[in-house]
C-alpha cells in the first residue's frame, strides 16, 4: 500500500477528512460496488473538496487499498500469533486461532469484502492482498526448523496466501450457502495446510 503525504498527519481536521473519505468509500462499495466509483462522488459523500481528496489519496484505487487496512493489519498480526517465539499453544492451535481471526474479520464485513476480494473484485486488489499476506509469511516460514529440505519459504508463502484467499473468495461469492458457515470455512482451510506446517516448531522457540 503506497502511503500518501497526509497519511501520518496529526491535524485533527486532516484525520477527520481522511476517515470521512474511507467511510464514504466503504458505504458506496456496499451499496453500489466499485463500477461507478469516482472522485467527485466520493467527495460529495464525504463532504470534502477534490483537492482534499488528492492530499490523501492518488486515486479511488488507493483509497480501496486503504479500506483494506484492517485486513492487512490482521494478516500481519495473525502471522505473529501463528509463529511467535515461546508460544505455549501448539502450532495447530495457533494456526486455528490465526485462520479463525481472518475468517471472522472478513465474515463480519461480508458485503464489503465480497466487493473488494470476491470473484468480481478488481484483480489489482486481490493481488495486493495476496502479496501482502505472502510477504508477512516469508520470515516466520524461514525460521521453521521442520520445513522439509528443498522447500522454499517464498513458495510456501505464495501457496498459503493464494489458497487462503481463494477459499475466502469462493465463500464470499455464495452468501446464500447457509451450510458453509465461518467455522466450516476455517476447517476447510486448516485441512488444506501441509501436515509439517501444522506440527512445526520455530527455531527461536
Instruction: Examine the domain organization and report whether 52 and 73 are in the same domain.
Output: no
Mean pLDDT of 37-57: 94
Name the residue with higher pLDDT: 203 or 45. 45
Instruction: Examine the domain organization and report whether 82 and 163 are in the same domain.
Output: yes
Q: Assess if residue 204 is contained within a domain.
A: no
Instruction: Examine the domain organization and report whether 99 and 194 are in the same domain.
Output: yes
Whether residue 4 has pLDDT greater than 60: no
Mean pLDDT of 109-130: 86
* Among the listed residues 177, 168, 47, the one whose alpha carbon sits nearest the alpha carbon of residue 119: 168
At 84-93, the pLDDT tens digits run 555 677 778 8
% residues pLDDT > 70 (the chain): 88
Whether residue 5 has pLDDT greater than 50: no
Instruction: Examine the domain organization and report whether 36 and 96 are in the same domain.
Output: no
Q: Assess if residue 79 is contained within a domain.
A: yes
pLDDT of residue 10: 65
Instruction: Examine the domain organization and report whether 86 and 147 are in the same domain.
Output: yes
pLDDT of residue 82: 59
Instruction: Examine the domain organization and report whether 57 and 123 are in the same domain.
Output: no
Ranges of H-type helices in the chain:
12-32, 39-46, 50-56, 60-67, 69-83, 91-108, 110-117, 123-142, 153-172, 182-192, 195-198
Confidence of residue 49 (pLDDT cuts 50, 70, 90): very high
Residue 110: domain span? 68-198
Instruction: Examine the domain organization and report whether 175 and 83 are in the same domain.
Output: yes
Q: Assess if residue 96 is contained within a domain.
A: yes
Q: Are 150 and 126 in contact (CB under 8 A)?
A: no
Instruction: Examine the domain organization and report whether 155 and 169 are in the same domain.
Output: yes
Q: What is the pTM of this model?
A: 0.76
At 120-176, the pLDDT tens digits run 888 888 888 888 888 888 888 888 777 899 999 999 999 999 999 999 999 998 888
pLDDT of residue 189: 94
Q: Assess if residue 203 is contained within a domain.
A: no
Instruction: Examine the domain organization and report whether 121 and 136 are in the same domain.
Output: yes
**Structural domains of the chain, count:** 2
Whether residue 116 has pLDDT greater than 70: yes
Amino acid at each position: 500500500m503506497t502511503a500518501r503525504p497526509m497519511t501520518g498527519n496529526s491535524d485533527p481536521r486532516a484525520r477527520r477528512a481522511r476517515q470521512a473519505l474511507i467511510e464514504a468509500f466503504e458505504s458506496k462499495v456496499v451499496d453500489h460496488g466499485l463500477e461507478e466509483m469516482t472522485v467527485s462522488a466520493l467527495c460529495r459523500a464525504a463532504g470534502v473538496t477534490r483537492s482534499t481528496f488528492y492530499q490523501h489519496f492518488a486515486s479511488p484505487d488507493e483509497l480501496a487499498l486503504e479500506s483494506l487496512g484492517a485486513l492487512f493489519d490482521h494478516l500481519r498480526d495473525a502471522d505473529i500469533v501463528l509463529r511467535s517465539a515461546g508460544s505455549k499453544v501448539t502450532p495447530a492451535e495457533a494456526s486455528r486461532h490465526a485462520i479463525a481471526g481472518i475468517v471472522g474479520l472478513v465474515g463480519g464485513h461480508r458485503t464489503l469484502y465480497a466487493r473488494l476480494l470476491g470473484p468480481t473484485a478488481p484483480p489489482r486488489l486481490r493481488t495486493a492482498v495476496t502479496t501482502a499476506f505472502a510477504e508477512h509469511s516469508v520470515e516466520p516460514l524461514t525460521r521453521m526448523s521442520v520445513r522439509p529440505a528443498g522447500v522454499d519459504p517464498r513458495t510456501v508463502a505464495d501457496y498459503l496466501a493464494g489458497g487462503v484467499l481463494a477459499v475466502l473468495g469462493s465463500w464470499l461469492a455464495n452468501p446464500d450457502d447457509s451450510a458453509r458457515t465461518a467455522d466450516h470455512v476455517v476447517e476447510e482451510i486448516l485441512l488444506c495446510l501441509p501436515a509439517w506446517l501444522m506440527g512445526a516448531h520455530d527455531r527461536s522457540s
